[in-house]
């Protein structure tokens, strides 16, 4: 019985499809654990660098960590990265952050961001929004390393307290304004 070209093509497609379907959960689990590992390491670095962030650890309802955001631009620019939301130290969901910009800019930079959600309402807003455009509710305060040494009572009433850290490269701005945070499914 001759081995026809049609049977060969069908068999190859079936084998490839089965391989991809079987590999998807493994790839998703691998990517998820890589994001978690990198986020935990980044958060550990932040806690060692900034006692203010460490003091928020037990007060926050959740912490969204983007261990590596890449920002690049030459007149037109963009930034993006993947992160994980921890509640009670456990991963609860995965997110991406992305932004585009236009203007006087040039360079490439890598940095991390940790967003401390200080109450359940802020977490609920993240959950219910179809992508959170940072700068809309809930209100966010960004704490830079060079800023005051303590978080005051006004700062602590904010819904989200954000810490940029671990900057490498040359670019002027680390703002969240205009960024969009959306849910993400690893491996897809």
Comparing CA positions, the residue from 43, 181, 41, 59 lying closest to residue 120 is 59
CA dist 129 and 144 (Å) reads 27
HSE-CB for 169 with a 13 A CA cutoff: 18
Structure tokens at 112: 């991390």
Determine whether 21 is exposed, middle or buried from the number of CB atoms within 10 Å of its CB (0-12, 13-18, 19+).
Answer: exposed
| Parallel/antiparallel/unpaired status of strands 180-184 and 140-142 | unpaired
Domain chopping of the chain, boundaries: 38-184
**Other C-beta atoms lying within 10 Å of the C-beta of residue 66:** 26
User: What backbone phi and psi angles, to 5 degrees, belong to 41?
Assistant: -65, -45
User: What backbone phi and psi angles, to 5 degrees, belong to 28?
Assistant: -65, -45
Q: What is the pLDDT along the chain (188 residues), one digit of tens a residue?
A: 455 555 544 544 444 444 444 445 665 678 999 999 999 999 999 999 998 899 998 999 999 999 999 988 887 888 899 999 999 999 999 999 998 887 777 788 899 999 999 999 989 888 888 777 776 656 777 776 654 544 554 445 578 998 999 888 776 555 565 788 899 888 77
**What pLDDT is stored for residue 137 in this prediction?**
58
- Mean pLDDT (the chain) is 79
């Amino acid at each position: 019985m001759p081995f026809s070209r049609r049977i060969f093509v069908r068999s190859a497609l079936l084998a490839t499809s089965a391989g991809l379907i079987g590999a998807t959960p493994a790839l998703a689990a691998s990517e998820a654990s890589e994001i978690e590992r990198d986020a935990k390491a980044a958060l550990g670095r932040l806690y060692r660098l900034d006692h203010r962030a460490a003091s928020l650890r037990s007060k926050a309802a959740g912490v969204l960590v983007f261990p590596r955001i890449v920002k690049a631009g030459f007149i037109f620019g963009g930034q993006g990265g993947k992160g994980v939301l921890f509640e009670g130290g456990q991963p609860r969901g995965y997110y991406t952050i992305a932004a585009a910009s236009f203007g006087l800019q040039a360079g490439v930079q890598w940095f991390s961001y940790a967003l401390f959600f200080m109450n359940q309402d802020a977490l609920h807003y993240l959950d219910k929004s179809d992508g959170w455009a940072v700068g809309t509710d809930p209100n966010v305060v960004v704490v830079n390393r060079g800023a005051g040494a303590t978080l005051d009572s006004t700062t602590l009433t904010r819904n989200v307290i954000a810490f940029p850290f671990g900057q490498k490269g040359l670019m002027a701005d680390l703002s969240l304004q205009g960024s969009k945070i959306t849910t993400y499914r690893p491996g897809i």
